[in-house]
Amino acid sequence: MALIDLPLEDLRGYRGEVAEPADFDAFWARSLELTRRHELSVRLREAPGPALPALEVHDVRFAGWDGHPIAAWLVRPRALPGPLPVLVEFLGYSRGRGLPVDHTRWAAAGYAHLLVDTRGQGNDTPDPGAPAGGGQWVRGFMTKGVQDPATYYYRRAYADCARAVEVAHALPALGIDVDPERVVVAGGSQGGAFALAAAGMSGGGLTAPVAAALVDVPFLCHVRRGVDTAPEGPYPEVVDYLRRHSPEAVEQTFATMSYVDGANFAARAQVPALFSVALMDPVCPPSTVFAAYNRYGERAAERPRAEISVWEFADHAGGGGHQVQRQLRFLDGLLAR
């Protein structure tokens, strides 16, 4: 696979033209206000399955958007003394939370790891669907309810992410020895967009605070460019949708998607972040990642530390274990472990 985007020297300063709705902050404040009309209702139970003697594993359920039940795993080391830092991880497109044995890396590193299922994309978390009038969409989730920001799928999914951060803060009251001052949000691809949203909403005071963000090859950043240039992944769903609709649908589609654009959330973030980008990524073109990275924290009173790992010969898989090692070093310095 060849390089598919701008040269690296151009990417380092690339911002692009990213639309931002005038009521962006008010929209998300209202969205979270509606979400909080339902109790968080966190429930923990020991997870079934093969024993993992070195770990404590809980099946977690909590109320997301409109009170809908969201599933998660909480995996943490059994022997380490607390309070432990919490890493809240969000998942890539079409992935479910899988099994606890799939998610032991962060617990091995000494974290309480809250792995959050994505509504409609995992077996354990349904998405009741767009409200009446949500319109039609093509395959996948990208255009589900896109006719209106109020009905858009990602409005619900982002609200779930904000609630997941609140779950991390609620764990001490449930007898889990963690440190709410050291909550980190993380994810790759779609999960990277979710981490940016959680960090941005935290920076705006809309949800519980986070201490740092790990953002790998994030999706849903500079969305218009992603749709125009990405040959693979979910962005072509939007192309398929617009091909089937009238030209008037184009403006509304991108207006709706501007409310979930990770570049707009990145600008509002106020905590340190480590990004990664892959220069041969056909799913999240590098310019879309740099558009978010170069805006990160620019609206904070004091711009936070932000770094980016550039994987020159990687595709959408990014830096793999090498990036995880960088993340661990990054967090060790921040969290004074």
Active-site residue flag, 316? yes
Selecting among 58, 103, 222, 316, the annotated active-site residue is 316
Residue 47, CA atoms < 13 Å, CB-side half-sphere: 22
Q: Which two tokens stand for residue 294?
A: 């170069």
CA distance 115 to 207: 18
- The CATH homologous superfamily for domain 18-335 is Alpha/Beta hydrolase fold, catalytic domain (3.40.50.1820)
Selecting among 117, 160, 216, 281, the annotated active-site residue is 281
Active-site residue flag, 189? yes
Q: How high is the pLDDT of residue 203?
A: 79
Sign of CA dihedral 96, 94, 324, 333: negative
Q: pLDDT tens per residue, the chain (337 residues)? A: 557 799 999 999 999 999 999 999 999 999 999 999 999 999 999 987 777 899 999 999 999 999 999 999 999 999 999 899 999 999 999 999 999 999 999 999 999 999 999 999 988 999 986 665 556 777 889 999 999 999 999 999 999 999 999 999 999 999 999 999 999 999 999 999 999 999 999 978 888 999 999 999 999 999 999 999 999 999 999 999 999 988 889 999 999 999 999 999 999 999 999 999 999 999 999 999 999 999 999 999 999 999 999 999 999 999 999 999 999 999 998 997 5
Beta carbons within 8 Å of 139's beta carbon, 6+ residues apart = 237, 240
Q: How high is the pLDDT of residue 128?
A: 85
Residue 254 has a CB neighbour count (10 Å cut-off) of 17
Helices H / strands E in the chain, number of each: 11, 9
**At CA 238, angle to CA 235 and CA 242, rounded to 5?**
150
Q: How high is the pLDDT of residue 296?
A: 98
Active-site residue flag, 160? no
Selecting among 189, 202, 258, 287, the annotated active-site residue is 189
Strand order in the sheet with 212-216: 43-46, 55-63, 69-77, 112-116, 84-90, 178-188, 212-216, 273-278, 306-311
Q: How high is the pLDDT of residue 133?
A: 53
pTM of the model: 0.96
